[in-house]
Chain A
C-alpha cells in the first residue's frame, strides 16, 4: 500500500515536472533566443558606415540597422545556428560586418600577435634581469654628478 502510494507520488511528480517543462519550454527558448540575439548583435557592426556595434547603432533614421536586426531575429526564429547566421551576414554584407576578425587564415595573426609580444617581452625581461645580475656596475653616471646631489634627489623622491 505504502509502495503504491509512493509510486503514485513519484508519478505525480513526474507529471508535474513534464507539465512545468511544457509551460516553461517556450519561455526558456525565448530567453535563449534573446540571449543569442544579444550575443550575435554584439558580434556585428551596423552596415551604414557608423562603425557602431549593430545593437548599439542608435542614430536617427539609420537606413540599415533596423533591417539587419529584423534579419537576425528571423534567422534565429528559423533555428539557424550562430555560425550559419554570421556566415550569411558576411556573405551579404562582406567581412567588415563582423566586429572582430574571425580567427582564420591571416586574421589569426590579429589575435595571436598581442599574446606573442606579451610572451616575448616576458622572456626578454627575464633575460635582461639575468644579464643585469651578471654585469658589473657602471660608475660613469655616478661620476657625472656629485653623489650628494643624487642622494638629495632620491631622498626627495622617496617611494
Chain B
C-alpha cells in the first residue's frame, strides 16, 4: 500500500503539472485546438483530486493496519490507538498535514472545475492558479516530505504513538477545520489573481467567490475557536489563547479575511476599494502560507512546532514567487482597478468600512510584528527577546475596542452620506443603554480606575451592549415596517426581514456572536487561581467554592496510565458536584497529558487541574481556577457560525426592483432591507 500511495502522489503531481501547463497554454493561445487543450487541463485538474485521495487513503490504510514500515506511521501511531485517532494520524505530523492540505486543495479544485460553467474563462484562469499551488504542495510531498518514506531497517513491532496532546475528540475536528479555512483562501485568491490577469470586471469575481470566502472564513473561525477550546480543556493552564506563534499564524489570515469580507461590500455596492480588495486577498493567502512557514522552519519557537524541517525554505521561495507574480500582474493591469465612485462624506457607511478595514489590518500587523520581533531583535541587538501575552494583549485590546465601537456605529450609517441628525436619532437610545450598562457594572463592583484590565473589561462590555442595542434597533426598525405593511407580529416580521435579506441580517447575527465572544473575553480580567496540596478529606477555598478532596487514586489502561483526584465541590456551603481532575501518562510516547475537570456555567467556569503529586507526601496538588464568562466565548462562536449560515442562504423573497434609483443621501439605514418592493439599492 505505501508503494501505491507513492505512485498516487507521483501521478497527482504529473496531472497537476499538466493542468497548469496545458491550462496556461490554452489561455495564452486562441483557437479550437487550444480550447480542447484547456478542457483536457480542466479534466486533469479533476483527476488530481482522485489521485491525491488515493494517496490519503493509502496513508490511512497504513495507519489502520499498523504498517510501521512507513516511517510516518511509526512516528505518529501505535497499535492501541483508537480508531478516530488513527484517522487523525493523517494530519498529526508534517508529511500527513501537507498531504491533507493537498487533498483539500484538490477537493476545492474538483468542485470549482465541475462548476466551470458559471464563467468558463474566469474559472479556467482560477483553475490554472490552483493547479500551480497544487504543484508546489505535490512537489513538497514527492521530494521533501514524503509521507510514504520507509522506516530504516526492519519495521519495529510497535509505533511511537500519537502525541498525547492530540488524543482528544476535538483534535479530530480542529485541524481539518483550520485547514479547510487556510486552503479555502486559495479559491478567492485564485479568482482575484485570475480576474486581474484577464482584466475581468471586479464585481463578478467577487460575486462568484462570495460564498467560497464566507464558507472558508466560517471554517477558519471554527478552527481557531476549536483550537482555543482544545487548549482550554487539554493543556490545563487555565486559558484558551496563549499568543503562541502558531495561534497567531491562524489569527492573521482570519483578520485580513474578515477585513476582506467587509471591504468587498464597498466594491460590490459602490465599485470602490478595488486595489485594496485584491491586495487584501493576496495578503490573506500569503499569511496562510506564512503560518506554515513559521511553524515548519523552526525560526520561531512554538509549542506547536511538532516537526521542524527544511521545508520552511520551500515555503519562503514559494511565497516569494507568489508575491512577485501578484505584484507583476498588479502593475501590469492596475489601471483596471480604478474606483468607480468617490467618497462623499466621512460620516458614511463607506468610511466605516474603510476604518474597520484599517483596524483589522493594523491588528494583523501588530500580531505579525510581535511574532517576528524576536528575530528582528536578534538581528539588531544580538539577543532574542520574548514577545508574549502581555505585549499582544496591551497592543491589540485598544484596537479591538475601537473595532467594537465601529461595529456599533457602522450599521447606523447610510451609504454615501449620513446626516448628524439621523445619527443622533438612531444612536441616542443605544448609547443611553450602553451608558446605563457601564454605570450598573460600576455599581456592581467593577473599579475601572484601579486596574487597567478592569477598565478594558468595562469598556468591552459597555461597547458590546452598544453593538447589541444597535443590532436590535436595526431588526426592530425593519420588522416594524414589515409589520405595518402585513399586520404580522414583530417577531414574525423580524424573521421575514431576515429571510428577505439573509446577507445583511445574517451579518448582524455574526456581529452579535462577536460581541458575545467579546463579553466572554472581557471576563478574563476577573480570573482567580489557587494551587494547594490536598490529602484525603482536605479542603481548599477559592471564591465562593470549597473543594474537598474525597480521595485520590490511579489506574492503568492499554494506552495510558492515569491518576486522578475525586473532588467534592461546595458552593456557599452547599454541595453542587463531584469533579475528577486527571493526569494521564501515555505508554507509547512516554508523555503525560492533563484531563481537566471543568464545571462550566454561563456565569463562570470552575476549572480543576491535577497538577501532579508531591514526591514526599504522595498527595495530589490541585490547581483551581475560576474563569468568569468563558462559556460566552463558545456560545458566541456558535452564534457567529449560525449567522454565517444565514448569510450564506439565498434570500427567500428577493427585493423586487421596478426601476433603479440612487440611494438618497442620509437615508434611514434600516430601511433598505425592509422595503417590501421598491428601490433595492
Instruction: Report the minimum CB–CB distance from B94 to chain A (whole Å).
Output: 20
Interface range on chain A (Cβ under 8 Å from partner):
35 or more
B336 within 8 A of A: yes
Q: Quick check: A101 and B237 within 8 Å, CB to CB? A: no
| Contact flags B162-199 to A (C-beta < 8 A → 1, else 0) | 00000000000000000000000000000000000001
The residue from B237, B302, B340, B365 contacting A58, defined by CB atoms under 8 A apart: B237
| Interface segment out of the listed B126-134, B288-296, B313-321, B355-363 | B355-363
Q: In chain B, what residue has the closest Cβ to A113?
A: B369
Instruction: Report the minimum CB–CB distance from A13 to chain B (whole Å).
Output: 27
| Interface segment out of the listed A3-11, A17-25, A45-53 | A45-53
Q: Quick check: B583 and A155 within 8 Å, CB to CB? A: no
CB-contacts of B329-384 with A (<8 A): 335-344, 346, 351, 354-355, 358-359, 361-362, 365-366, 369-370, 373, 377, 380-381, 383-384
Q: Which residues of B contact A110 (CB under 8 A)?
A: 369-370, 373, 377, 385, 387, 391
CB-contacts of A48-86 with B (<8 A): 49-53, 55-61
Known: A98-B385, A101-B386, A129-B346. A158 touches B501 (CB 8 A): yes
Q: Quick check: A157 and B265 within 8 Å, CB to CB? A: yes
Q: Quick check: B612 and A60 within 8 Å, CB to CB? A: yes
Q: Which residues of A contact B361 (CB under 8 A)?
A: 121
Q: Quick check: B207 and A58 within 8 Å, CB to CB? A: no
| Contact flags B535-550 to A (C-beta < 8 A → 1, else 0) | 0000000000000000
Q: Quick check: B340 and A137 within 8 Å, CB to CB? A: yes
Known: A45-B386, A117-B362. A135 touches B391 (CB 8 A): no
Q: In chain B, what residue has the closest Cβ to A43?
A: B390
B672 within 8 A of A: yes
The residue from A121, A128, A137, A149 contacting B341, defined by CB atoms under 8 A apart: A137
Known: A106-B380, A125-B355, A129-B354. A99 touches B389 (CB 8 A): yes
Q: Which residues of A contact B341 (CB under 8 A)?
A: 137
Instruction: Report the minimum CB–CB distance from A96 to chain B (whole Å).
Output: 5
Q: Which residues of A contact B383 (CB under 8 A)?
A: 94-96
A118 within 8 A of B: yes
Q: In chain B, what residue has the closest Cβ to A148?
A: B660
Instruction: Report the minimum CB–CB distance from A136 to chain B (whole Å).
Output: 8
A1 within 8 A of B: no
A95 to B384, CA, bound (A): 8
Q: Quick check: B301 and A51 within 8 Å, CB to CB? A: yes
Q: Which residues of A contact B507 (CB under 8 A)?
A: 159
Q: Quick check: B362 and A150 within 8 Å, CB to CB? A: no
A100 to B338, CA, bound (A): 43
A69 to B384, CA, bound (A): 23
B23 within 8 A of A: no
Q: Quick check: A125 and B354 within 8 Å, CB to CB? A: yes
B202 within 8 A of A: yes
CB-contacts of B202-245 with A (<8 A): 202-204, 207, 210, 235-239, 242, 244
CB-contacts of B455-510 with A (<8 A): 501, 503-504, 507
Given A45-B388, A118-B358, 10 new contacts (CB under 8 A): A42-B390, A56-B237, A58-B611, A97-B386, A100-B387, A118-B362, A132-B339, A132-B342, A154-B203, A157-B269
> Which residues does B use to contact A, with CB under 8 Å?
199, 201-204, 207, 210, 235-239, 242, 244, 265, 268-269, 271-272, 274, 301-303, 335-344, 346, 351, 354-355, 358-359, 361-362, 365-366, 369-370, 373, 377, 380-381, 383-391, 394-395, 399, 501, 503-504, 507, 529, 583, 585, 592, 594, 609, 611-612, 623, 654-655, 657, 660, 672-673, 680-681
13 cross-chain CB contacts under 8 A: A51-B388, A58-B623, A59-B592, A95-B386, A110-B387, A114-B370, A117-B362, A135-B342, A140-B335, A142-B340, A150-B271, A154-B681, A158-B503
> Which residues does A use to contact B, with CB under 8 Å?
38, 42-43, 45, 49-53, 55-61, 94-101, 105-107, 110-111, 113-115, 117-118, 121-122, 125-126, 128-129, 132-135, 137-142, 144-145, 149-151, 153-159
Give 7 closest A-B pairs by Cβ, nearest first: A138-B338, A145-B201, A114-B366, A56-B237, A99-B388, A100-B391, A100-B390
